[in-house]
A and B are shown apart, each in its own frame.
Chain A
């Protein structure tokens, strides 16, 4: 009985934290402060928002009217498509955390992840209705679609900045500076990863050719 009620309690907490995302996007300064400092957010809800965002991306690919989104299906790779969100997100979190810990940032890695995911909320919220909208407008009326789509991205970007500001307890100018710094950190990481993988493949190729050479001499 206790277990069951514990589960129920957990579920209610999850729903509450998920609903808090709506408060966050409309009152970002207050909302993102409470997200970590008052523990009104949860990683589970953050994961849900991220999954919804990915779902919106995929649904957009499939169901948006071809007027606005022409997809060359032979070259679509769904995993690469998902990675185009997940990989930059991972880099952002790690890069931001790595940079801000050195400069008095109060946020921890899970908190950065959580806040960033909460900041994604407007994307599925706007994009899902937009998919429906795209199927009932003509090309001439397409400006509505374009503007709304741009708003969803712009809103997310603003929220991410504000979220970082509140989590690290920074001022706005410092947040913007460190957001730019994070982008550079991401680039450095991509560079190192590329270097690493090319080194590994070269190393492997070297040993393979040594092995071949030995086999020829035997």
Chain B
């Protein structure tokens, strides 16, 4: 007995010793850096899907001067462009290794036959497939098109079209370019959607304004309110977009921070939309929760209100990631609009932010530009994160069995991950193992998929037990008839004079 106790205390001691040896970076995961929501909306902590490669300030990246309110970032192949707005310059790096970058050039002026060959507060840059640079030269009120050697090609200034309010300044804020060289631009003060320009710089109208909803209660309130109150009320205009990203198929993902909690919950405004060429929203929302970042939030620590998704990036497997500038969190959703994982936070440790402002990706690595920390954080998927991508890609490629095995691996690493169970179920469903699939779906409350599996299972069951089904139907239909007949005969026998 005594020996036992000694052994136990030795064990405990060694456990404590080894615990204290774990560096703080590893403990972070246990504190809930990465999480997800289950069907009920309860937070389920998960292993980290992304880990920090490094946090780089301007000096780490070979610059003499710190960033000054940087606001835009664009990644083209292995080159990174950052708009150093306050210093009126754009900086380009090349990623040489996973954690090393070499400075390519500092773009603060360009060559060409125009009056002003410098920038004033550049806010965004995009590189087209054929290598032209498109720059939002915001405070000069123009969009510049430069070739690779910084020769002036074209500039887009304020449209003279009458649909564009001429009393407003043209302040292009964010832009993207499609494969044909058309420019889509988010401009400050313009709430009619994205501004579209043809490849030759011609104004081509607005795209994808949010529909305005106007209920009868709003109408009554407006009628009752005084002029001053009316002015303070929410005006019924489409919301302005904050940022946009063109995915590999040419669809434009837009996000807005012009949201309120009630409008997000009721679906009146969408934090994220996916626009097709007609400007219609085609984002799939099959998740258990709306695509609004955090589905609930407490007012604490100086932060309040819903997540404000300020930038978005889309991987080639239709997984998209958005960044919340309030609480410094990144939210990854799959093509069905289900939250894959959320991670991050505000703070000074690596992997936390002060105020993230821009987000982009290089292959599967995420780059986050921090406005107040003046740094770029580079994330790379962990084994767990890579497995999730792998499972999604395998399923999309039709390799259902392989996808199921990958989800099994993920389930081993995170038993609280609803999508792992549903993923296994979906792969079993495709392999026509309906009974097993049903169990997986039921355990994670996925009634849509469960019904699909159950329908097939029921069909199989009926086909196998067709005799039993017929017997039962026969019994139900004919037994009352037979009983009635017997009773009748009995009644006749009882009342007949024969046996008296």
Binding site for B on A (CB under 8 A): 66-67, 70, 72, 136, 138-140
Main secondary structure of the interface of A (DSSP, over half): loop
Q: Does B448 contact A (CB under 8 A)?
A: yes
Would you call B40 and A139 a contact (CB within 8 A)? no
Q: What is the CB-to-nearest-CB distance from A75 to chain B, in angstroms, rounded to a whole number? A: 10
Stretch at the interface among B57-65, B279-287, B364-372, B451-459: B451-459
Q: What is the CB-to-nearest-CB distance from B27 to chain A, in angstroms, rounded to a whole number? A: 28
Would you call B442 and A139 a contact (CB within 8 A)? no
Within 8 A of A (CB), among B22-46: 39-40
Determine the distance from Cα of A72 to Cα of B39 in the docked complex, in whole angstroms: 10
Would you call A136 and B458 a contact (CB within 8 A)? yes
- Cβ 8 A contact of A66, one of B447, B448, B455, B458: B447
Task: Give every chain B residue within 8 A of A139 (Cβ-Cβ).
Answer: 447-448, 450-451
Nearest A residue to B449, CB-CB = A139
Would you call A66 and B445 a contact (CB within 8 A)? yes
Task: Give every chain B residue within 8 A of A66 (Cβ-Cβ).
Answer: 442, 445, 447, 450
Task: Give every chain B residue within 8 A of A70 (Cβ-Cβ).
Answer: 39, 445
Q: What is the CB-to-nearest-CB distance from B310 to chain A, in angstroms, rounded to a whole number? A: 34
- Cβ 8 A contact of A140, one of B39, B40, B442, B451: B451
Task: Give every chain A residue within 8 A of B454 (Cβ-Cβ).
Answer: 138
Nearest A residue to B448, CB-CB = A139
Chain B contributes a number of interface residues (CB within 8 A of A) equal to 12
Of listed B39, B447, B448, B452, residue having the most chain A CB within 10 A = B447
- Cβ 8 A contact of A67, one of B39, B40, B447, B458: B447
Binding site for A on B (CB under 8 A): 39-40, 442, 445, 447-448, 450-452, 454-455, 458
Nearest B residue to A70, CB-CB = B445
Task: Give every chain B residue within 8 A of A138 (Cβ-Cβ).
Answer: 451-452, 454-455, 458
Determine the distance from Cα of A136 to Cα of B461 in the docked complex, in whole angstroms: 11
Nearest A residue to B446, CB-CB = A66
Nearest B residue to A67, CB-CB = B447
The answer to whether residues A72 and B447 also contact, given A136-B458, A138-B454, A138-B455 and a CB cut-off of 8 A, is no
Determine the distance from Cα of A139 to Cα of B455 in the docked complex, in whole angstroms: 9
Determine the distance from Cα of A72 to Cα of B41 in the docked complex, in whole angstroms: 11
Q: What is the CB-to-nearest-CB distance from B165 to chain A, in angstroms, rounded to a whole number? A: 48
Task: Give every chain A residue within 8 A of B451 (Cβ-Cβ).
Answer: 67, 138-140
Contact sample, A vs B, 21 pairs, CB 8 Å cutoff: A66-B442, A66-B445, A66-B447, A66-B450, A67-B447, A67-B450, A67-B451, A70-B39, A70-B445, A72-B40, A136-B458, A138-B451, A138-B452, A138-B454, A138-B455, A138-B458, A139-B447, A139-B448, A139-B450, A139-B451, A140-B451
Nearest A residue to B443, CB-CB = A66
Task: Give every chain A residue within 8 A of B450 (Cβ-Cβ).
Answer: 66-67, 139
Task: Give every chain B residue within 8 A of A140 (Cβ-Cβ).
Answer: 451
Task: Give every chain A residue within 8 A of B447 (Cβ-Cβ).
Answer: 66-67, 139
Q: What is the CB-to-nearest-CB distance from B230 to chain A, in angstroms, rounded to a whole number? A: 38
Determine the distance from Cα of A138 to Cα of B448 in the docked complex, in whole angstroms: 9
Task: Give every chain A residue within 8 A of B448 (Cβ-Cβ).
Answer: 139
Determine the distance from Cα of A140 to Cα of B442 in the docked complex, in whole angstroms: 16
Task: Give every chain A residue within 8 A of B445 (Cβ-Cβ).
Answer: 66, 70
Q: What is the CB-to-nearest-CB distance from B376 to chain A, in angstroms, rounded to a whole number? A: 42
Can you add 8 more A-B contacts, CB < 8 Å, to A66-B442, A136-B458?
Answer: A66-B447, A67-B447, A67-B450, A70-B445, A72-B40, A138-B454, A138-B455, A139-B447
Task: Give every chain A residue within 8 A of B40 (Cβ-Cβ).
Answer: 72
